[in-house]
């Protein structure tokens, strides 16, 4: 079923326990990195989400062998053997389905000094340029695609040899940081990335590369140093870190339904930017070694606050839509300042259909608190916007439909099962997409 919807009857507090899955934004970079191994590897705690399915398909399209094992706990383990890779071209249609396919540029440049890739896709919130990636590869000796003109949507690069370089990122970029680490792992000499991104998934990809035999220091700080090596022997098992954004989404779902939920299999410090904001608003968050419990005193008000998105350890832009939903149900006026993406409020009209009182001024959203959301038929404009609408529907009285739900399944493993286990009334409705009827 291509365009299915989620049918959610809200108004029920979420209660109980759930486990968080592996990080989407770590595993996608790690899958690309594994294409450079001169051996095999096993990846554990892989989230069963459609972006991973697409990335596996792209890796198989260039000749890698990837066997998927479903563990008794229901998570996915991948057994990867890239030794059969027989091309450096990834130009099939799958490549433009996701943004992370561009990690194959760095991986294939590192593997064999050449790469040819169709332009990547991904959520549509503005330009999503890749100039920082291409400028860095050019500094490392790669010739071909110039960031000023990518011919016909195919990016072709070759480097003979690929050399280490000192690279300053004038914008903190997760993708560029990961892509440079990939290429630099096998470049001749040393590479330094200054003004590097520091997200948890950057550290996870670096740890994976070092497990492969790479020499990377400083991941998680502003400056990362990589010494290129000739071989990446591999032959190891690696477990993906928990997904910071999935965890934050369930924290917010618990909060907006006035529930009491314990979220397991997380790294609590990764949640600090959200936890501190939610405590400031009046929610209680108890922290354990690998879990958080989210609840509140119903007698106490929930106060609005101001949030500004920024690279980690700032407030994650990927929790911006979900947090706007949380702020809608708080007292007074709140402000969201989206400082990473230039157009990440496309979901606001959908929330306004549910009763949200929000005004947008460029990258600022002014949010006036409301008593409750009203159920409605809405559309997931992108992955995290869809997750935000799920939170709003869970909080609303009555039955809502969220169309284009496949966008949510790009990044949330078994979201229907997980929410049901917390008492939510949610089911998959066929391709009930009244939007099409409306346009008819």
- Rounded to whole angstroms, the Cα distance separating 406 from 403 reads 8
Q: Which of 130, 241, 254, 294 binds ligand EPZ (CB under 6 A)?
A: 130
Catalytic (active site) residue 123: yes
Q: Which residues contact 13 (CB under 8 A, 6 or more apart)?
A: 257, 258, 259, 260, 423
Could you say which residues in the range 170-229 bind ligand EPZ, by CB under 6 A? 171, 173-176, 197
Whole-number minimum distance, CB 64 to ligand EPZ, in Å? 19
Going along 47-183, which residue ranges are E strands? 65-70, 76-81, 89-90, 114-118, 143-144, 154-158, 166-168
| Shorter beta-carbon distance to ligand EPZ: residue 154 or 370 | 154
Whole-number minimum distance, CB 199 to ligand EPZ, in Å? 6
Q: CB–CB of 159/139 below 8 Å? A: no
| Shorter beta-carbon distance to ligand EPZ: residue 128 or 406 | 128
Q: Quick one: CA torsion of 135, 345, 252, 419, rounded to 10 degrees?
A: -90
| Site size for ligand EPZ (CB under 6 A) | 26
Q: CB–CB of 223/194 below 8 Å? A: yes
> How many CB atoms are closer than 10 A to CB 255?
29
Q: Which of 128, 190, 363, 372 binds ligand EPZ (CB under 6 A)?
A: 128
Asked if 246 touches ligand EPZ (CB under 6 A), the answer is: no
Q: Which of 16, 74, 129, 301 binds ligand EPZ (CB under 6 A)?
A: 129
Longest dimension (CA), the chain: 67
Asked if 28 touches ligand EPZ (CB under 6 A), the answer is: yes
Q: Give the residue closest to ligand EPZ by C-beta.
A: 175
| Shorter beta-carbon distance to ligand EPZ: residue 45 or 375 | 45
DSSP strand pairing (284-287 vs 291-295): antiparallel
DSSP strand pairing (190-194 vs 166-168): parallel
Which residue in the list 41, 59, 123, 391 is annotated as catalytic?
123
Tokens (6 digits) for 314: 């700032």
Q: Which residues contact 148 (CB under 8 A, 6 or more apart)?
A: none
> How many CA atoms are closer than 13 Å to the CA of 353, on its beta-carbon side?
15
- Rounded to whole angstroms, the Cα distance separating 47 from 38 reads 25
Taking residues 131 to 170 in sequence order and writing x for each that binds ligand EPZ by CB under 6 A, - otherwise, the string is xxx-------------------------------------
Tokens (6 digits) for 122: 């991904």
Options 24-32, 34-42, 61-69, 422-430: segment touching ligand EPZ (CB under 6 A)? 24-32
Whole-number minimum distance, CB 102 to ligand EPZ, in Å? 8
Taking residues 290 to 329 in sequence order and writing x for each that binds ligand EPZ by CB under 6 A, - otherwise, the string is ---------------------------xx-----------
Could you say which residues in the range 61-80 bind ligand EPZ, by CB under 6 A? none
Asked if 336 touches ligand EPZ (CB under 6 A), the answer is: no
State the residues that interact with ligand EPZ by CB under 6 A. Answer: 24-25, 28, 99-100, 123, 127-133, 171, 173-176, 197, 317-318, 340-341, 383-384, 411
Active site residues: 123
């Amino acid at each position: 079923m291509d365009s299915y919807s989620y049918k959610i009857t809200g108004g029920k507090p979420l209660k109980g326990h759930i486990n968080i899955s592996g990080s989407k934004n770590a595993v996608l970079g790690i899958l690309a990195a594994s294409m450079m191994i001169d051996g095999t590897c096993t990846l554990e705690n892989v989230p069963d989400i459609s972006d991973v399915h697409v990335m596996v398909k792209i890796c198989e399209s260039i000749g890698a062998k990837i066997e998927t094992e479903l563990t008794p706990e229901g998570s996915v383990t991948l057994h990867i053997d890239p030794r059969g890779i027989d091309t450096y071209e990834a130009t099939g249609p799958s490549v433009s389905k996701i943004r992370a396919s561009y990690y194959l540029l760095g991986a294939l440049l590192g593997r064999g000094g050449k790469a040819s890739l169709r332009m990547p896709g991904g959520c549509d919130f503005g330009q999503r340029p890749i100039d920082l990636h291409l400028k860095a590869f050019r500094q490392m000796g790669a010739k071909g695609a110039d960031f000023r003109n990518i011919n016909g949507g195919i990016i072709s690069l070759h480097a003979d040899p690929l050399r280490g370089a000192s690279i300053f990122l004038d914008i903190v970029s997760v993708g560029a940081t990961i892509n440079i680490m990939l290429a630099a792992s096998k470049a001749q000499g040393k590479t330094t990335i200054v003004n590097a991104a520091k997200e948890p998934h950057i550290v996870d990809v670096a740890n994976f590369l070092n497990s492969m035999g790479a020499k990377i220091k400083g991941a998680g700080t502003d400056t990362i140093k990589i010494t290129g090596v000739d071989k990446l022997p591999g032959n190891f098992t690696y477990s993906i870190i928990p997904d910071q954004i999935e965890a934050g989404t369930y924290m917010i779902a618990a909060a907006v339904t006035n529930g009491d939920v314990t979220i397991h299999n997380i790294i609590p410090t990764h949640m600090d930017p959200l936890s501190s904001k939610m405590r400031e608003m009046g929610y209680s968050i108890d922290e354990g070694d690998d879990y958080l419990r989210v609840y509140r005193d119903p007698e106490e008000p929930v106060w609005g606050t101001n949030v500004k998105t920024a690279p980690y350890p700032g407030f994650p832009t990927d929790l911006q839509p979900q947090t706007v939903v949380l702020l809608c149900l708080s007292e007074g006026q709140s402000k969201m300042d989206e400082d990473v993406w230039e157009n990440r409020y496309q979901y606001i009209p959908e929330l306004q259909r549910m009763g949200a009182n929000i005004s947008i001024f460029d990258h600022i959203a002014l949010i006036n608190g409301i008593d409750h959301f009203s159920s409605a038929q809405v559309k997931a404009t992108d992955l995290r916007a869809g997750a935000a609408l799920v939170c709003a529907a869970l909080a609303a009285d009555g039955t809502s439909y969220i169309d284009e739900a496949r966008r949510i399944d790009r990044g949330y493993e078994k979201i229907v099962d997980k929410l049901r286990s917390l008492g939510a009334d949610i089911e998959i409705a066929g391709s009930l997409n009244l939007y099409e009827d409306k346009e008819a």
